Amino acid sequence: MKNGMVDAAFVTSGIPNATIMELGTTNKIVIVPIEGAGAAALKEKYPFFVDAVIPADTYGTDTDVNTVTVMNILFVRDSLPEEVVYDITKGIFDNIDDIKASHNTANTHISLENALKGVQVPFHPGAEKYYKEMGVIK
Domains, the chain, in order of start with CATH, read 1-70 (3.40.190.10), 72-138 (3.40.190.10)
Question: Taking the chain (138 residues) in consecutive chunks of 10 residues, what is each chunk's mean pLDDT?
Answer: 86 87 88 96 94 92 93 92 98 91 77 90 96 95
Residue 108 corresponds to which amino acid?
T
Running DSSP on this structure, what letter comes out for residue 114?
Answer: G
The whole-number pLDDT of residue 78 equals 93
The whole-number pLDDT of residue 46 equals 94
Cα 78 vs. chain centroid, distance in angstroms? 23
The whole-number pLDDT of residue 11 equals 87
The whole-number pLDDT of residue 28 equals 84
Residue 115 and residue 135: Cα distance in Å, rounded? 11
DSSP string over 49-83: EEEEEE-HHHHT-SS-EEEEEE-------TTS-HH
Residue 56 and residue 46: Cα distance in Å, rounded? 26
The whole-number pLDDT of residue 137 equals 94
Q: Give just the sign of the alpha carbon dihedral 73, 110, 129, 44.
A: negative
